[in-house]
Structure 1
């Protein structure tokens, strides 16, 4: 759908972190430099490990899963909407929360600039898409072409193009 822009900012960031932390025996062409720290590092942020098996941040949006409302709420708060698809047992999802978002300055930046709605790639909760169609989380992931986790879909300010 032309209204969405899939930006792999978090995926790239996670990739850089994973490559930078690879064991010495891992075949790597050249060392990868980490992004400069741009804020406080300590204390580390500890994610919540929910009963559904997903990790989440305490500040993730408590949503009724109507993406039109979530978009409006984000705009009202001067933020952008991002929808993150994760799944139980996903090692990269866990590392996103326990390593990348554990960094205080990264966590602060994301929290201050984005309203995050977390969805389960295989979930059955009803989600209302931007066109008003109600689908399960799994069906929405299929509709949007989500194949891997974690996948973060970032939305522009106006939802056009």
Structure 2
């Protein structure tokens, strides 16, 4: 009997080990970060977020006194990326414990009307505060220390898949820990037929909008976004009307000629734009010589499609806020359908 139980225990331990390894390292092919059925749905704000008086300076002081950092979480109702952030990131047990230990989290509804007291004493509502902080889409996370709103330690625009989210939290908190989630990837860049080998972007200024895909090898999220969004039929068709190049972060010495005609190597181009998420796609509207917009978060097929339409149509010139443009566009479509 003892021999049987001993062997059974060994088998159980082996199974636990196998399951743990599978959980710790998964292929992105097995993971669906955003559920298409979640559009228009919301997730409940976690109970453990801080009950704040929304006095930013006080929130920073209280966090620092507790040897934590302040995390401002900007969200809105009906946002699938916000829902995924709550359910896949904040609700992950290991990540949740790490956040509670190292951060005070305060939620800000970009459509809300609660009063927020700024460090200079000004009082604004949540909508005005979100505009002041240049929140283009949700979720956006700002992490603050005693440098305050003017110099956030970190800014995460949009949804970050769990392993990227964890890595960012570890770096910004200065902690050397293992949060237990990695992703498998292929050691190559994904090539699309719409990528051009012509790196003289000034040739196309005024002829086409321009997109620069900034990627790296062994990037699981890059590969997943190519499978799910960048190579979709509608986005493939849209990007065929752009001049698109792909640059590899490992090719730092390669020269590109920017839309304004200046020459710069890839390393300096990336460093000057403080890029910390891959893939990042820098967009230049038709005739623009300065960056118009960037996609620097995990986006679904629809998210990429909307952003390309926003910039490619030139609508950004009359409506500088992507989120508001998206709301207005959807409302116009519903009205046209009589809905």
The answer as to 2:59 corresponding to 1:70 is yes
SS at match of 1:135: strand
TM-superposed deviation, 1:55: 2.4
Question: Higher relative contact order at CA 8 Å, sep ≥6: structure 1 or structure 2?
Answer: 1
Runs of 4+ in 1 over 2 A off after TM superposition: 17-20, 156-161
TM-superposed deviation, 1:20: 6.2
Q: Measure the CA separation in 1 of the matches of 2:80 and 2:97.
A: 23
Q: Measure the CA separation in 2 of the matches of 1:20 and 1:77.
A: 39
Q: 1:80 aligns to what?
A: 69
Q: Measure the CA separation in 1 of the matches of 2:75 and 2:119.
A: 20
Match for 1:145 among 134, 137, 146? 134
Q: Measure the CA separation in 2 of the matches of 1:66 and 1:100.
A: 26
Q: Residue 72 and residue 150 in structure 1: after superposition, are their counterparts in 2 closer, same or farther (change >3 A)?
A: same
- Contact 1:54 1:86 (C-alpha < 8 Å) held by counterparts: no
- Gaps (5+ residues) in structure 1? 1-16, 24-52
Q: Residue 131 and residue 99 in structure 1: after superposition, are their counterparts in 2 closer, same or farther (change >3 A)?
A: same
Q: 1:116 aligns to what?
A: 105
Q: Residue 69 and residue 152 in structure 1: after superposition, are their counterparts in 2 closer, same or farther (change >3 A)?
A: same
Q: 1:102 aligns to what?
A: 91
Match for 2:78 among 85, 89, 100? 89
Once the two structures are superposed, what CA deviation does each residue of 1:107-131 show, in whole Å capped at 9, x if it has no partner?
1111110011101011111001122
- Contact 1:54 1:87 (C-alpha < 8 Å) held by counterparts: no
- Contact 2:72 2:143 (C-alpha < 8 Å) held by counterparts: yes
**Alignment TM-score, normalising by the size of structure 2:** 0.32
**Alignment TM-score, normalising by the size of structure 1:** 0.65
The answer as to 2:148 corresponding to 1:156 is no
Larger radius of gyration: 2
Q: Measure the CA separation in 2 of the matches of 1:125 and 1:19.
A: 41
- Gaps (5+ residues) in structure 2? 1-26, 34-41, 152-339
Once the two structures are superposed, what CA deviation does each residue of 1:24-62 show, in whole Å capped at 9, x if it has no partner?
xxxxxxxxxxxxxxxxxxxxxxxxxxxxx6621111110
Q: Measure the CA separation in 2 of the matches of 1:146 and 1:19.
A: 31
Once the two structures are superposed, what CA deviation does each residue of 1:54-78 show, in whole Å capped at 9, x if it has no partner?
6211111101111111111101111
Once the two structures are superposed, what CA deviation does each residue of 1:63-118 show, in whole Å capped at 9, x if it has no partner?
11111111111011110011110000000111111112221001111111001110
- Contact 2:116 2:124 (C-alpha < 8 Å) held by counterparts: yes
Q: Measure the CA separation in 1 of the matches of 2:145 and 2:68.
A: 10
